[in-house]
Amino acid sequence: MARLILALETSCDETSAAILQDGTEILSNIISSQIDVHKKFGGVVPEVASRKHLELINGVIKEALEQAGTDFSRLSAVAVTYGPGLVGALLVGVAAAKAIAYAKDIPLLGVNHLEGHLYANFLVEPGLEFPLLCLVVSGGHTDLVVMSGHGSYQVVGRTRDDAAGEAFDKVARTLELGYPGGPLIDRLATQGDEDAVVLPRAYLEKGSLDFSFSGLKSAVINYRHRSLQRGEEIDRADLAASFQRAVVDVLVDKTLEAAVRFDVQTVLLAGGVAANRRLRDALALGCSNRGLRLVIPPPVLCTDNAAMIACASYYKFLRGDFAPLTLNAVPGLKLGEEKY
Ligand code: KG4
Ligand code: ZN
């Protein structure tokens, strides 16, 4: 009989529910974005996010079941993101999943949000062979992760300050583009010259696989302020393109260096910033020049969604790694850590 997993994702500003069959086939992946609500505040307001999740969660679950042509009685398990993320937002998904697990007497699976991002790649290619190197770039994280098996992670590089997505969002705010900044910079940059503005790239000490984007972000903000003070008009497309290029250069260089150092032949890209076209193209070129295989999920599976959570949970299900009904939200959960 087919194994159906219902997964819920409510860690930030998307309320999402998905049904996955046998770990590979997405029967539904409903994503209700709250972007329009948070846009007026220029960023995610945690209290508003939790309230919105509460309003949306039951309808999103219902739609996921309907679109998959199934109902609660046919589920093999229910999975949920329990961290990292906004505590009030996470709690909505965790409470809903626990209620379903209890009422239907099915196993509960607790998934790390970052693990979900990594596993979006297994939706694209279920047969990926280890070891794998994954660049996880989201609004809250920029990590280089070596995966030596299912559920086995070694973080070999991380950001020391801002995450890549955070830098995109802050620069977009400076350029008065709106929220969320990543997709807007991605679009505007196509009209700009990426060599127009000279910006710093932080490679840190020799051999380091860590990242730092706060210097670059400040350089863009200062450039903008200086031009405003002088009353000069800046070309926002040029500045967006130059900023994006500086981020992409460092991300790609360090990823390729890590692949060599850890002797990994297959590279994965994950997280919201993985939707960035410039990054996708540059990493594809770098990997092909070095004979490395690259897997990148389609953009809809890069940004927050429950299908990726379902996929990560499927391998936990196979291992019998079930969470107790006392599962709680863990806002600061680290990759590879299990807190239940
Ligand atoms: O993974 P995600 O959806 O949520 C978190 O777990 O944080 O990532 C959201 C981040 C935001 O900072 C957003 O601006 C960025 O991903 N993002 C992009 C693009 N699409 C989303 N950044 C650059 N280019 C994009 N096309
Ligand atoms: Zn995410």
pTM: 0.95
What is the CA 47 to chain-centroid distance, rounded? 21
Pairing of strands 142-149, 152-158: antiparallel
Distance 180 CA to ligand 1 centre (A): 7
Kindly state if the Cβ of 276 falls inside 6 Å of ligand 1: yes
Res 34 pLDDT > 90: no
pLDDT tens figures, 228-280: 999 988 899 999 999 999 999 999 999 999 999 999 999 999 999 999 999 99
Distance 303 CA to ligand 2 centre (A): 6
pLDDT tens figures, 127-139: 999 999 999 999 9
Kindly state if the Cβ of 303 falls inside 6 Å of ligand 1: yes
Average pLDDT, whole number, for the chain? 96
Kindly state if the Cβ of 322 falls inside 6 Å of ligand 1: no
Distant-in-sequence, close-in-space partners of 285: CB < 8 Å, separation ≥ 6: none
Task: Look at 60 and 47; give whichever has higher pLDDT.
Answer: 60
pLDDT tens figures, 96-106: 999 999 999 99
Domains of the chain: 4-118+302-319 (3.30.420.40), 130-297 (3.30.420.40)
- What three-state secondary structure class fits 17? strand
214-229 and 236-261 are packed helices; what angle lies between their axes, rounded to 10 degrees?
Answer: 170
Model confidence at 77, pLDDT cuts 50, 70, 90, reads very high
